[in-house]
Structure 1
Amino acid sequence: MVNLGEEFPNFTASTSEGDIKFHEWIGDSWAILFSHPADYTPVCTTELAKVVTLEPEFKKRGVKLIALSCNDVESHKGWGKDVIAFSGCSMEKLPYPIIADEKRELAVKLGMLDPDERTKEGLPLTARAVFIIGPDKKLKLSILYPATTGRNFNELLRVIDSLQLTATKKVATPVDWKQGEPCMVLPTLSKEEALKLFPQMNTKTLPSGKEYLRYTPQP
């Protein structure tokens, strides 16, 4: 299991688009790795189809996408046709690769297994993991959903916007924040430092009298 801020493992893998070395595949981009229990399964198909429709939005943000499922490459290619049909988009192949993890080696290494859901052979299903990796190859966010719960990929777009903003600006994003909305000034900045960086900063009055809710327009 990888902790936030640690370097993500640089594995080699076969995918629906050929063999890759993960760090080389990422290059200077951001990346999202999202895992699936198996090909030709209902929830997974809806998820991959949603990613097809959102791929242009991730691309605009400089984010590469790669899926993982515990079947072989040929299965992934066949399943991809179903995914594209369900998405309603017109294309020859999926706009992102799918890693073949038939032996579940990556699923085990990265802590993706769901012990409460099992295959007909009695093996734990691969859970719905999400890993966001920065250009520095370090883990920026991880979420682990059970196999029975589909993910919200619009939320992942929102998270990417926050991660990319806060990586370069001394702000944090409050609850339910969306691109273009006010941000919060980091508490590590003194009032003087904060006003120098964010002259439009305003501070919310609170019963405690403590001035820690400091807002600024998105830088």
Structure 2
Amino acid sequence: MKTNRRSGFTLIELLIVISIIGILAGMGIATYPVVMAKVYQMQCSQNLRSMYSIFLIYSQEHNAYPTTQPPLTRYERGGGVRDLWPLFDVGVMQKEQLELLKCPQSTVVPFSSNPTIDEFDKKHISYSYNSTAIPNDPNNPPIMADRGVSSGVLNFNAQDVYARPNHKTGVNVLLANGRVVWVSCDRRGKLSRSVVAEEQWGRLLD
């Protein structure tokens, strides 16, 4: 006599499958923040490279990088970012490109209560700009960083100068030669001298 075999999984088999799925899901959830942090870091780095291309176009026409132009109080936050207005004034950068000046992990909050707020602050601009940089500088100083990290060089948003960097583990920095380098920091958000050459970063690191 033939017996009918029941198709499908047994309870034990189902439990094993569910357990495996749970383990894989847990691994995915655990690694997701790490993966996304790397994606944001790369996106931020690409923003800085795009800004370097814009700086090159401007410097070829003016033999200089943007410097302070009147009115100096156009942007309420002040600092180096107001020096970027010539990029828009001469048309090498459009307001639609303002996202290039924002780190994807930025925590900068605009002063929305100020009635004079404009496009720079509405877009939560977070990058810092070294307005003292000059084209072809043999010292290869930093031009931009994803956050203000030294009041003497990248002066942007004074309240953010010594805050935890956007990426928590470091800062993307654009050098005068077009390279974007990653400067690590410790858990407190303090930049580490040991990861970069002292002669290059004496003015950047405190």
TM class by shorter-chain length?
Answer: under 0.3
Normalising by structure 1, report the TM-score. 0.25
Normalising by structure 2, report the TM-score. 0.26
Structure of greater relative contact order (alpha carbons < 8 Å, 6+ residues apart): 1
The structure with the greater share of residues assigned to helix is 2
The structure with the greater share of residues assigned to strand is 1
Larger radius of gyration: 2
